Homo-oligomer: A and B are copies of this chain.
């Protein structure tokens, strides 16, 4: 696509208008958007049916088809989501601190939008509406690049979003969909320095790797979750079974699901058969270290590669470790810095795990599945950052902002 620089320039221009728009005006655009999603449901669903038709012809598997499919109920949910964003506090303009310096300068630290956000994501069209509404509320223009499977649905949604912005007196270019879904154009978006202030990729490990490899604009890595549950020698084993079951089985396809079980040697003999029995209810496939296979003779052997893998499926790697220190070392080596849990009744072991595990979210006696912007009380989520810079863990509206120092003087010179 030749016009990516032009799209960048258009987004940047729109961003400068949106950055100083009032909360009232931004909410008006969002309310119009929520309404328009329902009013124009025929148009959206027609385009979605065409996407589904293509997907079926291309042999897309059923669970992917399900993620792609829209219906009136799902549009209503999207509209409800947008109305919820309206109810959230606008972060922009807040002065986080203001101090008077010895020379009389008054220095304020004020929250402002990032500017232009780039988002590269995969097949679910609801991300289009989610991302647009969160970016608008936080005063950011956004350049969206969705997956080709959802192209027609995404274009229909974007047309509606852009009309809503214009109806509220804001530039349509606050939300731009890249109409070329090729990999080359995605890479060019990753390299659009001077126009894209922050790139947020949402997708699998392949997309994240491509972004780390190719991006020249600042990036927030999201979503790769190789999460662990460690069952300590002093764990409440009933609790441990339920936490493991929940972390692995309640929704295996999401990033905060557990992938590897670590269990302390002294309780492995008692715990593993009980855990196996519970996870058998969901036909979980186990892959274990040698010691685990002595206790559970039927299971396959885990390779080094298994411990690095985010299965996103009913598969569990298991390793018997000596103690919490060993578990922490394993997690810090193989984990992706997403969500890690310990089950223990020992105060000191719990404190040590919280302190030494290097991850966005570290849990004591709770499931990793809670890592989520809504659960954390942010009221929204644009992704879960697994890097340390700028944002870590679930990202809400605040994480879509930066700061500016505003300095009031009376002629001071240095």
Contacts and interface: CB of A to CB of B under 8 A. Distances in A.
Interface residues of A, number: 66
A64 B293 CA distance: 66
Contact of A389 (B243, B358, B365, B389): B389
Interface in A313-335: 332
A34 B27 CA distance: 55
A137 interface: no
Contacts of A387: 197, 218
Nearest to A211: B216
A409 B366 contact: yes
A361 B409 CA distance: 12
B218 A389 contact: yes
A183 interface: no
A20 interface: yes
A227 to B, nearest CB: 13
B16 A411 contact: no
A213 B212 contact: no
Given A366-B411, A411-B366, A355 B405 contact: no
Contact of A114 (B216, B369, B389, B405): B389
A369 to B, nearest CB: 4
Interface stretch (A99-107, A127-135, A155-163, A277-285): A99-107
A218 B219 contact: yes
A324 B19 CA distance: 18
Most chain B beta-carbon neighbours within 10 Å: one of A115, A239, A242, A390: A390
A212 B236 contact: no
Interface of A: 16, 19-20, 99, 101, 103, 105, 107, 114-115, 193, 197-198, 212-213, 216, 218-220, 236, 239, 242-243, 245-247, 250, 332, 354-356, 358-367, 369-371, 375-377, 387-390, 392-393, 402-414
11 contacts: A107-B376, A114-B388, A193-B212, A197-B388, A197-B389, A212-B216, A239-B411, A250-B414, A360-B405, A370-B412, A376-B405
Given A197-B389, A236-B411, 13 more contacts: A103-B370, A107-B377, A114-B389, A218-B218, A220-B389, A359-B404, A360-B404, A366-B408, A366-B411, A367-B413, A367-B414, A392-B402, A393-B404
